Structure 1
Amino acid sequence: MKTSDIIGMGLMLFAFFLGAGNLIFPAWAGYQAGSNLWWSYLGYVLTDVGLSLFAIVAIARAGSPDALTEALPAGLGTLFWVIVYIVIGPAFAIPRTGVVAYDVGVAPWLGSHSPVYQGIHSVIFFAIVLWLCLFPGRLVTVIGKVLLPVLAVTLMSIYLAMIVEPSAAHFTPATGGNWAVQPVSEGVLQGYLTMDTFGAMAFGIAIITALKAYGIEDRKRLVRYTLISSVIAGVGLCAVYAGLFYLGALGRFHLDHAAGGGQILTVMVYQLLGNWGQAALSIVIILACLTTAVGVGTSCGEYFAQRWPKIPYRFWISSICALSAIVANVGLQTLITLSVPIVITLYPLAIVMVFAQLMPRGFWQISPGLLRLTLSVVLCFSILDGIKSSGVVGDLHDLNWIPLFDSSLAWLLPAMVCIVCGWTYQSVRRRSLVIGKGVS
């Protein structure tokens, strides 16, 4: 591949990731973290960028998303992927793009958040998404000729304006809670909410398909070029997130009680750049949300069409867009509230499967049996994390003896214990078998 082709692949991946959550969550996290913004930024980048890029490489190494769950019984593996594609599809991620595009890109110019206007916007937005999903080649033109240049100019203008802002010399303390005492773990949780690791599992196969179009079939070369493309996308995302965290922290001087990341972006860009900046931000937000909606929607439609081939892709993508248009009208905060327990429950399973796929083959390899055991244990603890985050049964203070339970990471230590102890047992057993064969 030419260098320009590799860079283009990385930029395409960057554009796919830079969607609704990737713009509003960093600004909101920076606002909440205040003077702790860089610690929160570290946690956020670890779970958002780090895990996402690892997931893409894991998909390239495995060859397909289903290969990640091959250690699971067939029914459970299928159920996992169906739930993941529903969550990143019509249940949350795709509708969220429509909501953010309206809240940040359209509503500021209408002067109100009328449900009627939002409903009209949802119909138009997802009609465009459907059209682009049916003719995905047109998306390349949108990304290459419109989105990235406008995005680069807008973000550079915002960042330069932030640097000369007088109040940028110091930041107020965090809003309280974990933002004040555990900013890294709180950043980790915010990285969870973008669901980019799930998205990476969907985008990963798209990257592999694109690389194969260049004649790259060898697994090692696929992994190599996927890794390079992922690093390019990761560097771009880290730079954008750093600016958005900084912008959010700066917003504490202009907003006493922000309602969310969308409001912070709108107010701060207008404060720094006026109407022209707001217009550019609207274009960037709408195009970024369209790009993500099309990327995720296409991946979901193709997955369901492959899983149930008797039902055509056009039916799946039409259904996904129609459902997304309906769900988008429940509001961003409601979507986030409903999705948090599901994301916190499923995310650890995806992390463990990605980790297992990235382990070197041979001596360090995790066996299917050990992976099944680890996933079972992780699921038990992540369900507790999910129940806690839902708030339906109180604060569960009686379970605070579980390490990291208060940070919604109760699954982490049990997962590490299972993997270390299980791998040690595997190694001892393997060595005993070798010695036994040598003696005989």
Structure 2
Amino acid sequence: MDFNKQTYLTAFALFSLFFGAGNLILPPFLGYNAGEDWFWVLLGFGISAVVIPIMAIYGYARIQGTMLDFAKKISPAVALVYCVIVYAISVALPAPRTASVTYEMAVQPYSELSSLWLSTIYFAIVLVFVLNRTKIISLIGKFLTPFIIILLLCIIGIGLFGDAEAMKASIFDNGLSAGILEGYQTFDAIGGVVVGGVIVISLALQGKYNYEEKKKMIAKSGLLAGIGLFAIYGGLIALGAYYSATLQVENRTELLQLLSTSTLGKIGTAFLGILVALACFTTAVGIITGTSDFVKGLCKNSQTAYIITAVLGCVLGVAIGQFDVHYIIDIALPALMFIYPITIVLIILNTLPERFASTTVFRAVALVTFLFSIPDFLGFFIAEDSVNALKEYIPLSKYSMGWVLPALFVFVLVNLFELFRGRNTGEITAK
């Protein structure tokens, strides 16, 4: 498999655009709580935070369009509504969270700078990158990503070769499902449909490559980025599990701080601050850029629309970035339970061969997925007993995955129906 310089740059850029606040603080705490069952949560986390997002990149390699193309087979109206919801969630939650994490872990321990000032400076620099649209892959791929990876490997490598007590028992009833649901919190499936578009447009703006060249480049870059993400997640989850009986912590950020100090000593705290700032920054750039690209496309490629959206996105980031990290994570859960299942289904359908993903299949599977994910969403707003009574009749619903089997069943059923209908039509035509 041939990999050129642009492929590696794009892979590095993809890695950084995916690897943000949640990707850094969630895996160690997941491993810490899983203890000796850390491998099962890694598999679950890998499914929702690596496999599904990278499948989104493969989907973009095929269609080389915008996020509107991901849902267009359902209907143009549904595609538009879906995109607006995804970009609204992205700008309102994961983007501001990057500023909040940066403040709590990289600034607050060492400086009296207020959260407001930090967020303002942070998103001002984000805006500079977003406005330099054509240079994003180069800037992130060449300079920021290598530094992020080196720091991560230092913390993981030194930590796993250190002395630690036996791992504690897992707190999870089902490690696989716990890992999948925690992977939701990375926003990476949503990130896949957002930053995939950023990569497609970035390569198109260079004007050097044809469709087939871009298709191969994006697919190879996605593979490399996926391998890198899984390796880093595996290391962070194993590190959290390795120290699960040694450290006593109550939240995600505290654990990451203690791990960096345990592995790299006093200098580890400074390195962690730099790592957090860089990882969060690249993700914020990807989200704001993707949202601005989307609005620009809706407004007939208006650069003014791009700039206004970028500025508004950064202002919103400053405002919401004042909230506590854990508060932002908590309020994100209902939104994730609402949009994640349909996003996963759209990603999978867009990577399948055309004969298995017709318009009818898209519409039927998307509708069933939406209907069966409603109980998980409603559970945050109405009496728990009412929702649990409904969930008892839905397989896997107690793991917040009640939509999976119905979606799979409808997918198979509709494909079989279209197969037999096609054969019957062929026989009638032949007669």
Q: 1:86 matched to which residue of 2?
A: 88
2:115 aligned with 1:124 = no
3-state SS of 1:372 partner? helix
Mapping 1:39-54, distance limit 5 Å: 39-54=40-55
3-state SS of 2:281 partner? helix
| Inter-partner Cα distance in structure 1 for 2:138 and 2:106 | 21
2:335 aligned with 1:333 = no
Mapping 1:369-408, distance limit 5 Å: 369-388=360-379, 390=380, 392-395=382-385, 396-398=387-389, 399-408=391-400
Q: 1:228 matched to which residue of 2?
A: 220
| Inter-partner Cα distance in structure 1 for 2:210 and 2:135 | 26
3-state SS of 1:27 partner? helix
3-state SS of 1:108 partner? coil
Counterpart amino acid of 2:164?
Answer: S
| Inter-partner Cα distance in structure 1 for 2:3 and 2:40 | 38
Gaps of 5+ in 2: none
Mapping 1:225-304, distance limit 5 Å: 225-260=217-252, 262-304=253-295
3-state SS of 1:109 partner? coil
2:82 aligned with 1:75 = no
| Inter-partner Cα distance in structure 2 for 1:120 and 1:4 | 38
How many Å apart are 1:422 and its aligned residue?
A: 0.7
| Inter-partner Cα distance in structure 1 for 2:141 and 2:340 | 32
Mapping 1:425-436, distance limit 5 Å: 425-436=417-428
2:194 aligned with 1:206 = no
Q: Provide the alpha-carbon RMSD of the alignment.
A: 2.0
How many Å apart are 1:319 and its aligned residue?
A: 0.6
3-state SS of 2:321 partner? helix
CA deviation string 1:156-199 (max 9, x = no partner): 3222322332216x31012x2xx2x2000110011111111111
Are residues 206 and 142 of structure 1, via their aligned partners in 2, closer, same or farther at CA, if it must alter by over 3 Å? Answer: closer
Counterpart amino acid of 1:163?
Answer: L
Counterpart amino acid of 1:286?
Answer: A
Counterpart amino acid of 2:339?
Answer: L
| Inter-partner Cα distance in structure 1 for 2:345 and 2:160 | 40
User: Sequence identity of aligned pairs in percent?
Assistant: 28
| Inter-partner Cα distance in structure 2 for 1:186 and 1:249 | 15
Counterpart amino acid of 2:269?
Answer: Q
CA deviation string 1:137-171 (max 9, x = no partner): 66556535543343233223222322332216x31
Q: 1:351 matched to which residue of 2?
A: 344
Counterpart amino acid of 2:427?
Answer: I
Q: 1:62 matched to which residue of 2?
A: 63
| Inter-partner Cα distance in structure 2 for 1:376 and 1:149 | 42
3-state SS of 1:166 partner? coil
2:122 aligned with 1:158 = no
Q: Contact 2:167–2:243 (CA<8 Å) still a contact in 1?
A: no
Q: Contact 2:9–2:137 (CA<8 Å) still a contact in 1?
A: no
CA deviation string 1:59-85 (max 9, x = no partner): 221232212211223222111100001
Are residues 165 and 299 of structure 1, via their aligned partners in 2, closer, same or farther at CA, if it must alter by over 3 Å? Answer: same
Gaps of 5+ in 1: none
Are residues 254 and 146 of structure 1, via their aligned partners in 2, closer, same or farther at CA, if it must alter by over 3 Å? Answer: farther
Q: 1:107 matched to which residue of 2?
A: 108
Q: Contact 1:40–1:186 (CA<8 Å) still a contact in 2?
A: yes
Q: Contact 2:100–2:324 (CA<8 Å) still a contact in 1?
A: yes
Q: 1:313 matched to which residue of 2?
A: 306
Q: Contact 1:150–1:280 (CA<8 Å) still a contact in 2?
A: no
How many Å apart are 1:356 and its aligned residue?
A: 1.7
2:409 aligned with 1:417 = yes
Runs of 4+ in 1 over 6 A off after TM superposition: none
2:96 aligned with 1:95 = yes
Structure 2 length as normaliser, TM-score?
0.93
Counterpart amino acid of 1:93?
Answer: P
3-state SS of 1:239 partner? helix
Q: Contact 1:147–1:284 (CA<8 Å) still a contact in 2?
A: no
How many Å apart are 1:43 and its aligned residue?
A: 0.6
Mapping 1:158-177, distance limit 5 Å: 158-167=155-164, 170-174=166-170, 176=171
| Inter-partner Cα distance in structure 2 for 1:277 and 1:142 | 25
Q: Contact 1:34–1:252 (CA<8 Å) still a contact in 2?
A: yes
3-state SS of 1:253 partner? coil
How many Å apart are 1:205 and its aligned residue?
A: 2.1
| Inter-partner Cα distance in structure 1 for 2:131 and 2:70 | 28
CA deviation string 1:193-252 (max 9, x = no partner): 11111111121122223444363223x443322111001101111111111112222342
2:210 aligned with 1:217 = yes
| Inter-partner Cα distance in structure 2 for 1:319 and 1:196 | 23
| Inter-partner Cα distance in structure 2 for 1:14 and 1:152 | 9
Q: Contact 2:59–2:351 (CA<8 Å) still a contact in 1?
A: yes
Q: Contact 2:31–2:38 (CA<8 Å) still a contact in 1?
A: yes
Q: 2:145 matched to which residue of 1?
A: 148
Greater shift, 157-166 or 74-83, is seen at 157-166
CA deviation string 1:257-316 (max 9, x = no partner): 4222x2211111112212211111111110111111111111111111221346621111
Are residues 95 and 429 of structure 1, via their aligned partners in 2, closer, same or farther at CA, if it must alter by over 3 Å? Answer: same
Greater shift, 240-249 or 411-420, is seen at 240-249
Structure 1 length as normaliser, TM-score?
0.91
| Inter-partner Cα distance in structure 1 for 2:108 and 2:247 | 18
Q: Contact 2:129–2:136 (CA<8 Å) still a contact in 1?
A: yes
